Structure 1
Amino acid sequence: MLAIEALTRRFGDFTAVDRVDLTIPTGQMVAVIGRSGAGKSTLLRMIDRLIEPSEGRIRFEDRDITALKGASLRHWRRDCAMVFQQFALVDRLDVLTNVLMGRLDHTPVWRSLLKLWTGDDKAIALSALELFDIGSLAANRAGALSGGQQQRVAIARALVQEPRMILADEPIASLDPRNTQLVMDALLRVNRDFGITVLTNLHSIELAKRYCDRLIGMKAGRIVFDGTPAELTDAAVTELYGLEAADVIEIPSAADPTPDEIRAAWDAARAREPV
């Protein structure tokens, strides 16, 4: 379980995150929503310790994350994998090598520097690529892939870290609708099949409601909504987004599946897979 207590981040006179209290049980898929500048990305980056909190504490089970340094902090970043909006791949390297970078904390430094990956590491990386239907791209240069393919490679790299949690910071912001669905399906699969907690920032209200168990609404650095997709009314969206509310409230078509239908489909698919 992740527990955040009075977490605050100031940049000079500006408070980006203001005394946030939040508890996320293991295995939830949670979306953080709100206007640009609400503090969503700062919150995620503090959890991964890419940004240092000004005040407050982050705990994960029996670890005080805010106190970690050195090797202990590296181990936390292995357990709490980060997926970025701009993919953070090495364009000139092939896809398989990019995914293998997620094994660095499981591999001696000398072996990784010489690219002497074990057969087990390669098998784990290839399995992750196959899981997201991009195994055939393993030998391709990462920079030659589409945005959606690169983001799925980034998710595969996060998965081979063997994390307890994945933080996805605006993972679909630059993607077209088809690749958006593929990436959100990939995150849902990580959550449903492996029980990994997923905490993601999303601009699309409908995608957040469709894919996530819980929504956290932020405004001016504070949490002003915390509930299920069904509890997020148009009035709550208007409170979060103000004049921008009409831009983020999408009208789903009759063919769009509901959140319960998506989760039921995943459960049915898992039940049909051979043991």
Structure 2
Amino acid sequence: MLTIDRVTRRFGAKAAVEDVSLEVAPGAFVGVIGRSGAGKSTLLRMINRLQEPSEGRILFEGRNVTTLTGADLRDWRQSCAMIFQQFNLVGRLDVMTNVLMGRLNHVGTARALFKLWSIDDRAIALSALEQFDIATLAAQRAESLSGGQQQRVAIARALVQEPKIILADEPIASLDPRNTRIVMDALQRINKHYGITIICNLHSLDIARTYCDRLVGMAQGRIVFDGAPEALTDDAARDLYGIEAGDVLDGHTPVPAPAAQMPSPAFA
């Protein structure tokens, strides 16, 4: 269980996140929705400890992760993987090496620096790439890939960390509709097949309703909705999104393809 207990994050006099409390059960697929500036990204970055809460605490399985330092903090970030809107790949490195970077906490920085990856590590990375249908791109430089391909590489990198939670911060914001569906299908398969908890910031309400089993709506740094997707009416969404409602209520809900069965990875 992930527990967010009365967490606040201030930047000067402004609270980006204010007095947020939330519990997320293992294996959930939670969509965090709301207009730009609602505090969604700040919330995810605090869970991963990329930003520190000004007040409150975050617990996972009863352990206070807001007090972790050093190796304990690195272990937490390994078990709580992050996927970013801008992919955060090293463009000049090949795809395989980018994915192997997800194994850093398992092999150590020195081995990674000298590319002393074991056969098992390479097998794990290749298995992840195969699951997202990009194994044939393993030797290509990351910067040569399309946006959708790069995001799948980023998801594969997160998966090889062997995380318990994946935090996805607007992972489809820069993608076209086809790649949006491919990336969201990939996250859904990870959630259903491995039981990995996913917390995903999304701007599109239709996408959130289609893929998530729970929606958390944020406005001005606070949680103003928490429930099943079908419980969020269009009128409530208009209140949540304000002037941006027209951008997220376009009347079209994509239907995901049946999630393909993923082969068991080498680390399962």
| Superposed displacement of residue 227, structure 1 | 0.7
2:97 maps to 97
CA distance in 2, matches of 1:84, 1:95: 17
Runs of 4+ in 1 over 2 A off after TM superposition: 269-273
Q: Deviations over 1:9-66 (max 9, x none)?
A: 0000100000000000000001100010000000000000000000001000031011
- 8 Å CA contact retained: 2:193, 2:262: no
CA distance in 1, matches of 2:236, 2:108: 50
The answer as to 2:190 corresponding to 1:178 is no
Unaligned runs of 5+ in 1: none
Q: Report the structure, 1 or 2, having the larger helix content.
A: 1
1:19 alignment partner, SS class = strand
Letter of the 1:83 partner, please give it: I
Letter of the 1:190 partner, please give it: I
| Superposed displacement of residue 104, structure 1 | 0.4
> 1:78–1:271: structure 2 CA closer, same or farther, 3 Å change rule?
closer
| Superposed displacement of residue 200, structure 1 | 0.6
1:244 maps to 244
Q: Deviations over 1:167-215 (max 9, x none)?
A: 0001001111111111111111110111000001001000000000000
2:149 maps to 149
Q: Deviations over 1:62-110 (max 9, x none)?
A: 3101110010000000000000000000000000000000000000332
**Aligned runs of 1:182-197 on 2, under 5 Å?**
182-197=182-197
1:140 alignment partner, SS class = coil
CA distance in 2, matches of 1:235, 1:153: 37
| Superposed displacement of residue 132, structure 1 | 0.4
TM-score (norm. length: structure 1): 0.93
1:205 maps to 205
- 8 Å CA contact retained: 2:29, 2:214: yes
| Superposed displacement of residue 152, structure 1 | 0.3
> 1:149–1:164: structure 2 CA closer, same or farther, 3 Å change rule?
same
CA distance in 1, matches of 2:8, 2:161: 28
- Compare 167-176 and 234-243 and name the one that shifted more: 234-243
**Aligned runs of 1:101-116 on 2, under 5 Å?**
101-116=101-116
2:105 alignment partner, SS class = helix
1:66 maps to 66
2:16 maps to 16
CA distance in 2, matches of 1:170, 1:234: 21
**Aligned runs of 1:12-161 on 2, under 5 Å?**
12-161=12-161
| Superposed displacement of residue 271, structure 1 | 10
CA distance in 2, matches of 1:105, 1:31: 28
Q: RMSD between aligned alpha carbons? A: 1.6
| Superposed displacement of residue 247, structure 1 | 1.9
Letter of the 1:36 partner, please give it: S
Q: Across the two proteins, how many residue pairs are aligned to each other?
A: 264
CA distance in 1, matches of 2:233, 2:109: 51
TM-score (norm. length: structure 2): 0.95
Letter of the 1:38 partner, please give it: A
1:10 alignment partner, SS class = strand
> 1:271–1:44: structure 2 CA closer, same or farther, 3 Å change rule?
closer
> 1:272–1:7: structure 2 CA closer, same or farther, 3 Å change rule?
closer
2:3 maps to 3
- 8 Å CA contact retained: 2:189, 2:262: no
Unaligned runs of 5+ in 2: none
